[in-house]
Structure 1
C-alpha cells in the first residue's frame, strides 16, 4: 500500500468518525474494489473504495439488504452511515464505504465438502430470506449477468482489436466462445427474485465449518436463482480461477446443493434440471468477460507478482474458465 493510499484511507476514516487509526492493511482478495482492513477507535473495520462500475444506488441497495438480512439471522456486514446519513462517502478519489468487520476467515478455493455444504446452506438461507424482501431495489448502473448483452458488447470489443497484435493469440477463443454462450442461454419463464449476484467462496467467512459472514452484496439484483446457483457452483467446485487444468468437482457440487436444498425454497422441476446448464453458462460468461478485459485491461484486478501484465493474467483466467466449463456435467 502506498503512502498516498494510506493518507486517503485515514481521511475517509476521519470523515466516518471511526476514531484514531492505528493500523491499515490492504486486502487483495477481491477482484474489483480496493479494500482495506482498518483498526480505528479500538474496533475493526472494512474500508472500501468502490469500483466506478457501481454507484450510489448500489450502495443504498446494499445498506437496505444487509439490514434486512441481519434482522432475519443472516450474518451480513453492518454498513456504517456517514455523518450525513448516507451509506457512502464521495471524495475526489471516488466512492467509499465502511462496514464493521465480521469474524472468520475466507478461502480462495473450497477445502472440503463440509465447507461446500455450509456455504450452500447459507446461500439457501439468503435466498429464502430475500424472497420476502419488502422493498424494491434501486436501479443500478447496469444489470449484472445480462448474458446476451455481455456477449454482444464483447463481440464489439473483439472487432475493434481484430487488427492488433493482441488478437492472434486468442483468435480461437474469439471464434468459438460467444457462440457457445448464446447456445446455452436459459429459456424465458423461470422464476426470479433477489439474488446475491457474486456468491464466490471468498465472499463467505468461516469459523471451522460454520459461516460467520456473507459479504460483498454490491451485485445484488433481481434475477433467476439459477444465476446465483450456477455462479456459486462455478466458484466452489473448481480450482483456482487461472488454473489451466481447472476441473469441476462433482462431489463438492453434491455437498453444496445438499446444503442449499436444506434451507432454500424448492426449485420447480424444469429449473432443477437446468442447474448444470446454468453453471456452464455462467462459467463461460465469466470467460468472455475475462477475454474482453484481456484486450481492454480496465476492469479486473491482476497479480503483478505472478504475471507480467494484466492481459496475461486475464487470458489465463479466460482459458481456465473454458477448461472448467468443459468439465461441468449436465445433470446436477
Structure 2
C-alpha cells in the first residue's frame, strides 16, 4: 500500500474516528480490502479492534449524503427486524455491519479534494470469496440475498433516494451509448463498432424489458449481488452478512436475480477475453433458482417470478452496454488494469447474453 496514502489516512482521516495514530504507532495497520470497481476500501486494524474504511467515489456517487441516508434507513429497517423477539422465525437472520459515526457524530467525513470517507464495522471471522465454485455456495448466496430483499419490503420504495439516477434503466443506457458514440471523445469507436451495432440492434429485447417492468411492483433491491458482496462465516461457510449497500434503491427483484446469474454462472471471469470458453453453468443457475425462490416464493407475485428469466438476460446485456460506454468515454466509471479492459468486459457480457439465449429452454425450466 502506498506510503503517502497510508500516512494521509492515519494523520487526517482516522483521527476523526478516535484512532490516535501517534499512540498506536506501528500497531495500527492498514491494508486494501476487496476488489470492488468503485470505492477504495481499506481494513484498519489495531490491537483492540478493527474497522472498514472507505473513500467514496464521488464521481459515481455525486451526492454522498443521499447514499448515507439510504444506508442508515436500510440499517434501521434490518435492525428492527433483527431485534424483533416476538417472532424469531421471521426475524432477520444475518449480521448487519454497523455504520460508524465520526467524533462529531456525522455519518461521513468530507475532506474536500482529499475525498469523502466513512467507517463501517468489521465483522470478525468473516470470509469473502471472489467466485462461485459450487452449487452450495450459489444456493447459500441466493437465499441470503433473497432474505435481505424480503426484509426490506418493509420500506416504501419512494422512501429510498436514487443515488445513481437511471441506474438500471436500459433505455437510458442505450441513449447514453448512442450519444457517446456520436461524440466519440477518445476516438475509440472504430475498434468496437461491431459491439455497438450489436447493442443498439437489440430493439425487440429493449421493448420486452420496458413492457415487463411496467407490470411489476417496485421493491428495494441490492442492485449489486456479486458473490463478494456476501460475507460467509469462516468456520462453516454459512451466510453471515450482505454487504456493500451503496446501490440499495427501489427497483425490481429481477435486477438482483439477474446480477447473480450474470456473476455466478459464467464459465470464465467477467473480464476474460477467452470468449470461446464462455458458457453458462447450468447447475449453478439451478442452485440460484432453488435458493432465491425458496426464500421469496410465497411473497412475490406470479409476474415477478415470470420476470426472473428476463432479469438473467437483462443484467449481462446492461453491463455490456455500461462497459462499452465507459470504454468509449475514457474509463471514468470502472477501474481498469490495462487499455481496452472495459471493451474486453463488454464483449464478455454480450457473449454471456448470447449464451443464455442459446440455453434458454433448459434454464427456464428451473424457474417454473
* Distance across 2 between alignment mates of 1:144 and 1:82: 30
* Distance across 1 between alignment mates of 2:6 and 2:278: 37
The question of whether the paired residues in 2 share the 8 Å contact of 1:190 and 1:224 is answered with: yes
* Distance across 2 between alignment mates of 1:178 and 1:5: 42
Per-residue deviation, 1:63: 2.1
* Distance across 1 between alignment mates of 2:262 and 2:323: 15
* Distance across 2 between alignment mates of 1:139 and 1:165: 32
Per-residue deviation, 1:106: 1.6
The question of whether the paired residues in 2 share the 8 Å contact of 1:16 and 1:83 is answered with: yes
User: Max radius of gyration: which structure?
Assistant: 2
Tell me which moved more, 84-93 or 17-26.
Answer: 17-26
Gaps of 5+ in 1: none
The question of whether the paired residues in 2 share the 8 Å contact of 1:18 and 1:41 is answered with: no
1:36-75 aligned at under 5 Å gives the runs 36-40=42-46, 42-52=48-58, 53-54=60-61, 55-71=64-80, 72=82, 73=92, 74-75=94-95
Instruction: State which of 105, 108, 111 in structure 2 corresponds to 1:85.
Output: 105
Find the residue that maps to 1:194 and give its secondary structure: strand
The question of whether the paired residues in 2 share the 8 Å contact of 1:18 and 1:40 is answered with: no
* Distance across 2 between alignment mates of 1:241 and 1:318: 9
* Distance across 1 between alignment mates of 2:278 and 2:122: 32
1:152-301 aligned at under 5 Å gives the runs 152-161=175-184, 165-180=187-202, 182-187=206-211, 188-207=214-233, 208-238=236-266, 239-243=268-272, 244=275, 245-264=277-296, 265-295=298-328, 296-301=330-335
* Distance across 2 between alignment mates of 1:67 and 1:8: 32
The question of whether the paired residues in 2 share the 8 Å contact of 1:67 and 1:78 is answered with: no
Per-residue deviation, 1:86: 2.2
| Structure with greater proportional helix content | 2
Per-residue deviation, 1:144: 2.1
Tell me which moved more, 99-108 or 284-293.
Answer: 99-108
The question of whether the paired residues in 2 share the 8 Å contact of 1:66 and 1:78 is answered with: yes
* Distance across 1 between alignment mates of 2:349 and 2:207: 17
* Distance across 2 between alignment mates of 1:178 and 1:223: 23
Q: Which residue of 2 aligns with 1:33?
A: 39
- Using the size of structure 1 for normalisation, the TM-score is 0.91
* Distance across 2 between alignment mates of 1:34 and 1:95: 11
The question of whether the paired residues in 2 share the 8 Å contact of 1:231 and 1:279 is answered with: yes
The reply on whether 1:24 has 2:30 as its aligned counterpart is yes
Specify whether residues 260 and 28 from structure 1 end up closer, same or farther in structure 2 by C-alpha distance, changes over 3 A only.
closer
Find the residue that maps to 2:241 and give its secondary structure: strand
1:197-256 Cα offsets, whole Å, 9 max, x none, are 111111111134311121100000011111111112211212310123332212111111
Per-residue deviation, 1:139: 4.3
1:115-151 Cα offsets, whole Å, 9 max, x none, are 1111011011111100013692234352421222122
Per-residue deviation, 1:165: 4.4
Per-residue deviation, 1:271: 2.7
* Distance across 1 between alignment mates of 2:16 and 2:247: 26
